[in-house]
Amino acid sequence: MPSSCTSFKANMTVEAALVLPLFLFGILFLYSLIEIIRLQSEFEQALHQYGKKAALHSYAYDKLQSNESEAADIIEGVGFSILFLKKEFENIVGQEYLEQSPLVGGKDQIQYLHSKFMDEDLIDLILVYRATPYYNIFKSSEMILMNRCRLHAWTGYDLKKNTKTSISREQYVYITNESDVYHINRNCTHLVLSIQQCTMNTLEHFRNNDGGRYSPCEFCEDNSGTQSRNIYITESGTKYHSSIQCSGLKRTAHVVPLSEAGARRPCSRCSK
């Protein structure tokens, strides 16, 4: 029947006429979302560009401030102020772009007030602004966006000033459980024992570093042995040992900060 065929064609045309504009609006909406992402990345880039410049200039500011000169106040007033940030930021982004971007309320609606300059040597730049898609067909609400750039001012590294981050300069010393002295030098002869082997027959010829004779060790004393048995002595010790396994021949040194050395006194040999 020719009449029903005509009405079917007409339906197609009506549907296409309705759907096509919606489809096009959808594409445009997506495009404006991409524009918002672009806006945010443009702002991020500009903020970093300004931040780097401010970090560089902060060296002069820091030096002047430490001299308590009036120039520091001038720089603080001019260079490190919200007004200056606003002016520089707008220049970097470009007036033209700011006017045609999806920013709500134009450039004057950008908030810079959360930014901080030279707070513990940090430059913290924060932007808060609102953006909306160009073709707001879905009645989506405005988006609140934020950009932040946090930089360390180029003021050098001051150990005294940055107590929080300063590396501990405390001296480390070497201690043993047996002794009540601490050692500065890791290679101190009190710590590194050079064990010598000899026999009871020849012991009388040996003297320790202080010129003293060796007496029997109370831990490993062995009177049963002959005069030709092996015994062990050290240059810094005062005892001779029958066993090389004797604890008197061992030193286990620990490295500790000087403040943890307790009541120990400095070693007379290596702390001079």
Residues that bind Zn ion (CB under 5 A): 183, 188, 190, 217, 219-220, 241, 246, 248, 267, 269-270
Between 150 and 229, name the residue whose CB sits nearer to Zn ion. 229
- With 0-12 CB in 10 A as exposed, 13-18 as middle and 19+ as buried, what is 58? buried
Between 33 and 203, name the residue whose CB sits nearer to Zn ion. 203
Single-letter residue type at 52: K
Q: What angle do CA 257, 262, 263 make, to 5 degrees?
A: 140
* Shortest distance, position 191 Cβ to Zn ion, whole Å: 6
* Shortest distance, position 177 Cβ to Zn ion, whole Å: 15
* Shortest distance, position 262 Cβ to Zn ion, whole Å: 16
Between 82 and 200, name the residue whose CB sits nearer to Zn ion. 200
CA–CA gap between residue 235 and residue 195 (Å, rounded): 7
* Shortest distance, position 248 Cβ to Zn ion, whole Å: 4
Helix or strand or coil: residue 149? Answer: strand
How many alpha carbons lie under 13 Å from residue 263 in its C-beta half-sphere? Answer: 0
The DSSP H or E segment spanning 250 is none
Between 25 and 219, name the residue whose CB sits nearer to Zn ion. 219
The DSSP H or E segment spanning 168 is none
Between 99 and 222, name the residue whose CB sits nearer to Zn ion. 222
* Shortest distance, position 169 Cβ to Zn ion, whole Å: 22
CA–CA gap between residue 111 and residue 146 (Å, rounded): 9
Give the closest residue to 43 by CA, choosing from 121, 97, 82, 122: 97
